[in-house]
Structure 1
Amino acid sequence: MTEIKPLNETRLEELREGFESGASNRLAMNAVTTSGIDKVARNYDRSRLLQRHFSVTVDNGEVTNQNRSGRCWLFSSLNAARFIAKKSMDMDQFELSQNYAMYYDKLERVNYFLRDVAALVRAGEPADSQLMLHLLADVMGDGGQWTMAMNIYKKYGAVPKPLFPETQSSANTSQMNYELRSMLHTQVARMYAEPARIDEIVDEGVEAGHRMLTIHLGEPPKSFDWEWTDKDGTFHRDGEITPVEFWNKYINAGFEDYVCLVDDPRAEHPKGRKIGIEHLGNVAGGDPTEYLNVPNQFMKDCARKIMTEQGIPVWFGADCHPMMDRDNGAWATDLFEYGSVYDFDFDLDKEQRVRFGDSAMNHAMAFCGVDVADDGTTTRRWRVENSWGDKIADKGYFTMSDDWFSEYVYEIAVPKSMLPEEYLQALAEPAQMLPAWDPMGALA
């Protein structure tokens, strides 16, 4: 093994002298240590000139709040669904239970994970292989994908939030997730120790997961009496209805048939091809987590058309952290001048950021507006419904510059009917499967 050269005192002194010789380094240190890097690096001109007006808006009313959880993919998909539900029932304000969706997602993931790992153990997968270590480390997080959300809604439907409200554990999932993860690790260890009992160990783990989730989140309703008052004050009674019946009746928007488009910028993954991620899913027997890799501009065109022609929000996934002004609710590629403060050129392009672990999808939201130029096709900026509450941004709504979309938006969900024939043919072909740890498998 090549010896790693240590930092010795001579080199440390060279670094100190180099810092002191920089005319602006001490000024930057004084400012950042007092105010923080974002306030110092914030591009004043870019921030004030980023307009918050849009030629098309499909706002959804009061924003939701995922609190201390990673359920953005559920919140954003349910935000799109509630937009349809509010129209169906002529309501101003309405919210679907994110707790209900998470309950069944977690329960299904317990079953999916245990049965997936059981097959690997039977096949002789070493306990310390890269794959097994990745699966054990990644299990029972809160993140997910559009297809995974649709798997839950197709199988379990949805319920209005007042009928299955938030709990302490749904609003702050860390302790519940830790206990569930520990239980699953225990069951995997037992599989390796007692291979003859694998089926029993799986069943015991599913039972334990169901028990733990019900203790933390409550027992979800199998049916409920649905009554509501519309925005004109008219009372409605639908009678007893199941969650699946509720979904099919009031959110009949065809979301289940949507296709996930991604912008994977790596050259070895050509556009117009379907890709999938090994071992990524939630509902056994549900739709696989697969994407159609397309140019970023095609994603923009689809999102614009859905809002301008259909008038509904668009679910998407992005790397939300770069160049984000959280308090003011803004994203733009030049919103912060970090390079000027640090005297360093951050020059990676999108492909390099993905390849070298600098960027991946980590948050899902919904487009609810777009500003289109006078030519009718060129997009200028985007309005975003987030799920971080209404105390930040424009009462929880963010503004995204079009260039930021190009660099940091990775996925959107669109109707299959929007795809040209060549993409429809690609959907019919087997997916190019990527390993479980590939960046395109990152969960929002």
Structure 2
Amino acid sequence: MSSEDFSQTAVSADAISAEMMERFKADFRSVPHRRALMNAVRKSGIQATAWNQDAMARMTYTFSNEIETGEITSQKQSGRCWMFAGLNTLRVHTMRQLNLKTFEFSQAYLMFWDKLEKANYFLENILETLDEETGSRVVAWLLSAPLNDGGQWDMFVNLVRKYGVVPKSVMPETFHSSSSGMMNRLLTLKLREHAATLRRQHQQGASLAELRAQKQAMLNEIHRMLCIFLGEPPERFDFEYRDKDNQFRRDAGLTPHQFLERYVPVDLDEYVSVIHAPTADKPFGKMYTVKYLGNVKGGRDVLYVNVDIETLKQAALRQLLDGEPVWFGCDVGKMYDRDTGILDTSLYDYAAALDVDFQLSKADRLDYGESLMTHAMVFTGVNVADGRPNRWKVENSWGKEPGQDGYFVMSDAWFDEFLYQVVVKKKYLPEEVRAVLKEEPVVLPPWDPMGSLAIMR
């Protein structure tokens, strides 16, 4: 159809008309520099055109306070960032106790138990929702991702408490721990099959006891698959190492729990998740949990205390200045450059490059699906000037290539806009926030943005 034909076509009031298009074209052509922008973006792409070199110059990898950490880790092609961040947080304490230059826990070990526990958690949720229609929103949500790689801090704690930890040498990475896509597809296929079987047998009159007996056989299949994908988890092992003074040490016949008790001097009960979700439906000063979010049945719930950004920031700062790393969750895909490792709200001037303003607030981004927590990392340093932090050192788990030897640098402005959660010891929180920890949590629906899992790879 020619433009002349288009202009003669009758259109309804809610359609794009020829007159409307003429106004749009006239508006675009009325500002001469827009053609230059169009040519630059068409040739080089929006990010190269919008790149702000001045922002890069400000984001230096120098910090007034830093924590000594081990060698950078790599989750490779898996979504285990939350698990890597959790273990990287714990290993600092192990390295100090044992006088080690570096150390790494086995992520494959916890991954095995996380998958098995998630399978059980999923099947129990299916049993809980047997009377819901298959097409209901809640069942559709449960079926959407029964067993992905993502997780939360409290889910990490549940695994460590129940199964302990082991050095990486005891249960090293496998092909599918490092590249989990096909493993997850086949495990998900089997779990959806199990869900269909349980729901069908319920409709045929099977009792809950009969279905739970079936569930055990189903979990046996999942366990078998996990052993083939990841190997059998060790029950006992010898821990051998050389410390910074080149002294050889051996501790023989350890169980994973014994290793945890002897070499991880951390009280996990002291840590709490603090979030900043400034939406109208989540008043500050309240405890929240999310329906159907978790991994270990009988473990502790995923719990958050929602606070203003300054309270959250000061708690993280106090813990860092005391020499302890901080696990945090953020939306890493926003206003960042993977190669330089910079996270800064002024890194790209999209508004100038596109001649369009972007005005969604942090609350709006959560409410309208523009942002949520996607990735977990660890703060291991901060630069404080005139009593205020202006940039933060970030230990990532993407290997040594991105950023500066695997470390990222975050501006304080980026912290305010795209960071949603930190895990800190209770003692770093104001008394009124600690009091909230004793309250019953408000239960959020499964699809609430605060129910998102850290899964970025």
- TM-score computed with the length of structure 2 as normaliser: 0.92
Contact 1:59-1:369 within 8 A present in 2 as well: no
Matched, 1:76 2:85: yes
- Residue 415 of structure 1 aligns with which residue? 425
The structure with more radius of gyration: 2
The superposition leaves residues 370-417 of structure 1 with CA deviations (integer Å, 9 ceiling, x where unpaired) of: 111233xx2111000001111121101111111111111100111123
- Residue 373 of structure 1 aligns with which residue? 385
Percent identity of equivalent pairs: 41
Matched, 1:301 2:288: no
Partner of residue 180 from structure 2, selected from 166, 173, 177 = 173
Partner of residue 43 from structure 1, selected from 37, 45, 52 = 52
- Residue 158 of structure 2 aligns with which residue? 151
The superposition leaves residues 161-214 of structure 1 with CA deviations (integer Å, 9 ceiling, x where unpaired) of: 111111111111111111111111111111221111522332222111111111
Contact 1:190-1:201 within 8 A present in 2 as well: no
Separation in 1, partners of 2:110, 2:173? 11
The superposition leaves residues 258-304 of structure 1 with CA deviations (integer Å, 9 ceiling, x where unpaired) of: 11101111123111110110010000100000101111111111111
Contact 1:114-1:205 within 8 A present in 2 as well: no
- Residue 451 of structure 2 aligns with which residue? 441
Partner of residue 403 from structure 2, selected from 362, 372, 393 = 393
Partner of residue 384 from structure 1, selected from 374, 379, 394 = 394
More deviation, 201-210/213-222: 201-210
- Residue 200 of structure 1 aligns with which residue? 213
Alignment length, in residue pairs?
Answer: 437
How far 1:15 sits from its partner (Å)?
A: 5.0
Separation in 1, partners of 2:144, 2:22? 40
- Residue 135 of structure 2 aligns with which residue? 128
Contact 2:332-2:375 within 8 A present in 1 as well: yes
- Residue 3 of structure 2 aligns with which residue? none
Aligned with 1:159: secondary structure? coil
Aligned with 1:194: secondary structure? helix
The superposition leaves residues 355-375 of structure 1 with CA deviations (integer Å, 9 ceiling, x where unpaired) of: 111110000000000111233
Contact 2:319-2:428 within 8 A present in 1 as well: no
Separation in 2, partners of 1:4, 1:395? 57
Change (3 A) 1:388 1:13: farther
Matched, 1:102 2:111: yes
- Residue 161 of structure 1 aligns with which residue? 168
- Residue 325 of structure 2 aligns with which residue? 313
- Residue 4 of structure 2 aligns with which residue? none
- Residue 66 of structure 2 aligns with which residue? 57
What is the root-mean-square deviation in Å for CA atoms of aligned residues? Answer: 1.8
Contact 2:328-2:379 within 8 A present in 1 as well: yes
- TM-score computed with the length of structure 1 as normaliser: 0.94
How far 1:116 sits from its partner (Å)?
A: 1.5
The superposition leaves residues 104-161 of structure 1 with CA deviations (integer Å, 9 ceiling, x where unpaired) of: 011100001101211111xx11111111101111321111111100100011111111
Separation in 1, partners of 2:245, 2:406? 26
- Residue 6 of structure 2 aligns with which residue? none
- Residue 363 of structure 1 aligns with which residue? 375
Contact 1:262-1:292 within 8 A present in 2 as well: yes
How far 1:333 sits from its partner (Å)?
A: 1.1
Contact 1:110-1:205 within 8 A present in 2 as well: no
- Residue 113 of structure 1 aligns with which residue? 122
Contact 1:187-1:201 within 8 A present in 2 as well: no
- Residue 253 of structure 2 aligns with which residue? 240
Contact 2:187-2:222 within 8 A present in 1 as well: yes
* Unaligned residue ranges in structure 2 (runs of 5+): 1-11
How far 1:239 sits from its partner (Å)?
A: 1.2
